[in-house]
A = this chain, B = another copy of it.
Amino acid sequence: MRIGEVAAKSGVSVRALRYYEEQHLLTARRNSGGQRLYPDTAVTRVRLIQQLYAAGLPSRTVRQVLAGIDSGKVTPALLRSLTAERDRIDRQVQDLLTARARLDDVIATTERPGPGCVHVDA
């Protein structure tokens, strides 16, 4: 597969794929003309990269995770890093739910008019 097809199938831009290569997240063979050739598994790998990015992992950590998966073994250092990220994700989910509740407060004051009084305390 060439880069355009991988981009289409994985839903990211061609630029992003080249960026991933720069960051050593994704490698590709080259044909005689210098164009990148990807195996079919690249599509899933890209989707995984996107998911990890969506979780706020920096490319450095994504690289470590992928290295762990590729080698089939996870170093203790990576393990600590992963559990730390997992905990961070849990906190972030809590933050999001808190903010969500705040938004609902504001939304509710409109739907139920009257002396609009959003709880702003602590």
Taking Cβ atoms with an 8 Å cutoff, the residues of A that contact B are 41, 44-45, 47-48, 51-52, 54-57, 65, 68-69, 72-74, 79, 82-83, 85-86, 89-90, 92-93, 95-100, 102-104, 106-107, 109-110, 115-116, 118, 120-122
Contacts and interface: CB of A to CB of B under 8 A. Distances in A.
Chain A at the B interface: SS class:
helix
Contacts of A57: 99
Contacts of A107: 74, 79, 82-83, 86
Contacts of A96: 54-56, 89, 92-93, 96
Nearest to A108: B74
Given A44-B120, A44-B122, A122-B47, A89 B100 contact: yes
